[in-house]
Structure 1
Amino acid sequence: MIRVVICYEGEYITGFMVKGHAGYADPGYDIYCAGISAITQTALLGLLKHLKTKPDYSISKGDLKVKLPRHLDGEDLNKAQIILSTMEAGISSLEEAYKDYVRLEIRRC
């Protein structure tokens, strides 16, 4: 199962983590893994492209971790929240449709 954890501080998303494999098909052929990867990697690319202050991130063995800087200015914070809340909506939709393969956790971090 793919596990996506989205971290909130108050009302703001501050980062996310993706771990695991859906187990629907072999790695490289799994449509659920591909869907989650497309959504989360596009969110990371959006943050890197549109924020003046870049997020910290790491990719290791297929796992992805992204953390926003602690003090973003108003414009960067707004852009980040639009990107990350859109990512959350996409993942939530996949989780609703494919509960056996995708789990979304919301945490206060």
Structure 2
Amino acid sequence: MINVHIARLDDGSIEGFSIEGHANFAKAGRDIVCAGVSAVTVGTVNSIEALTGVELDSKMKNGFLSARLTEPLADSVSSQVQLLLESMVVMLESIAASYGKYIRVEQGNN
């Protein structure tokens, strides 16, 4: 199972996220759940960096990805980053709605 944790600050904004595990929906190379989660999460990290210039503190290895904001951001940039992160949450929850046996999304304060 893929476990997703969305870390939120007291104001509800997203501070970071971590994903670990494997869906085991299908054999490696054919696992659409893993592929979808990877595309959404890695794509979000890449989008944040490319579109806002904000570099997240990210770590990735087989079956694991974490990304975290490391510094306070100007309000205009922060709102862009939060929109991209919230979009990622919507996409992950959509995957979980269809494939809940293979992915769990949790949100809360870190």
Q: Same fold (TM over 0.5)?
A: yes
Maintained 8 Å contact 2:48/2:54: no
After the TM superposition, which residues 41-56 of structure 1 pair with which residues of structure 2 at under 5 Å, given as runs? 41-56=42-57
Determine if the alignment matches structure 1 residue 108 to structure 2 residue 109: yes
Equivalent in the alignment of 1:4? 4
Deviation of 1:7 (Å): 0.7
What stretches of structure 1 of length at least 5 have no aligned partner? none
Determine if the alignment matches structure 1 residue 21 to structure 2 residue 19: no
Equivalent in the alignment of 2:59? 58
What stretches of structure 2 of length at least 5 have no aligned partner? none
TM-score of the pair, normalised by structure 1: 0.93
Any idea what the Cα deviations from partners look like across 1:35-91, whole Å, max 9, x if unmatched? Answer: 111111110011111223311101112310000123111122111111000000000
1-structure distance, mates of 2:77, 2:70: 10
Count of aligned positions: 109
Identity of aligned residues (%): 30
- Secondary structure at the aligned position of 2:45 is classed as helix
Maintained 8 Å contact 1:53/1:69: no
TM-score of the pair, normalised by structure 2: 0.93
How large is the Cα RMSD of the aligned pairs?
A: 1.1
